[in-house]
Amino acid sequence: MTYRKWVVGVALACSVVSLAAAPSRSNADQYLPRLGDIMNLIQVRHAKLWFAGQAKNWDLAGYELAQLKQSLTDAAIFYSGLPVNNVTTLSQPIQSISDAIAAKDGKRFASAVTELTSGCNACHATMDRGYVAIRIPTDKPFGNQDFRPQGR
Ligand code: HEC
């Protein structure tokens, strides 16, 4: 567990701007989210990340990427049955997305998110969950959120 946390932490930690202090894990014994529930959060963040990038709202994209990365880390730490390689290989596309956000490069962003998406599906295939097929989102599911950059 400690080694695992280290591996996942080292692989995923470096790339993305950290926006908030690390959350306290002291209440983890009281409530352990189910893996499928963490995955649903990851799905939401994957979609919001995409739409933020499409809207060139790079602040929001950076935020969603950090959130997605945190949820992936949670999944890997809480669920030791997850193949750690399938988590750590995502550090490559996550780094590329982070670089694309920093460079405000929409094209690079799109290809890096596509690469990330393949990583999602590679793990699902390994885990006999190939029927959970993730793709670049087509429709905006969040009518209550404006993805455009907001004036400061
Ligand atoms: C290391 C392995 C792994 C990676 C990486 C991974 N997943 Fe999953 N995912 C799973 C497993 C295992 C399940 C099934 C969970 C269960 O049955 O409780 C799952 C289930 C899901 C589900 C179904 C949840 C539901 O209730 O409908 C979604 C959606 C999902 N993943 C999205 C993603 C997205 C998006 C990514 C990439 C950003 C991703 N996953 C990356 C292992 C992974």
* Tens-place pLDDT, residues 49-106: 999 999 999 999 999 999 999 999 999 999 999 998 999 999 999 999 999 999 999 9
106 neighbors 58 (Cβ within 8 angstroms): no
Question: From start to end of 4-140, where are the E strands?
Answer: none
Nearest 5°: the CA angle 6, 65, 119 is: 70
Residue nearest (by alpha carbon) to ligand 1 atom 7: 120
Q: Is 42 in the pocket of ligand 1 (CB under 6 A)?
A: yes
Residue 80, in any domain of the structure: yes
With a 6 A CB cut-off, is 88 part of the ligand 1 pocket? no
32, amino acid identity: L
pLDDT tens for each residue of 130-152:
999 999 999 888 999 999 999 86
Q: Is residue 58, in this structure, part of any structural domain at all?
A: yes
**Residue recorded with tokens 């994209």:** 61
- pLDDT tens digits, residue range 41-50? 999 999 999 9
Confidence band (pLDDT; 50, 70, 90) for 14?
low
Question: Is 95 domain-assigned?
Answer: yes
Give me the amino acid identity at 95: Q
| 38 located within any domain | yes
Q: How far is the CA of 68 from the centre of ligand 1 (A)?
A: 12
Report the pLDDT value the prediction gives residue 110, as an integer from 0 to 100: 98
Residue 27: pLDDT band by 50, 70, 90 thresholds?
low
Q: How far is the CA of 39 from the centre of ligand 1 (A)?
A: 5
**Closest atom of ligand 1 relative to the 37 alpha carbon:** 26
Which contiguous run of DSSP H or E holds residue 58? helix 58-78
Report yes or no on 96 lying in a domain. Answer: yes
Domain residue limits at 88: 34-126
Q: Is 43 in the pocket of ligand 1 (CB under 6 A)?
A: yes
Say whether pTM exceeds 0.85: yes
CATH code (residue 101): 1.20.120
64 occurs within a structural domain: yes
Q: Does residue 60 sit within a domain?
A: yes
Q: Which amino acid is at 17?
A: V
Q: Which residue has the higher pLDDT, 15 or 137?
A: 137
Q: Judge whether 89 lies within some domain.
A: yes
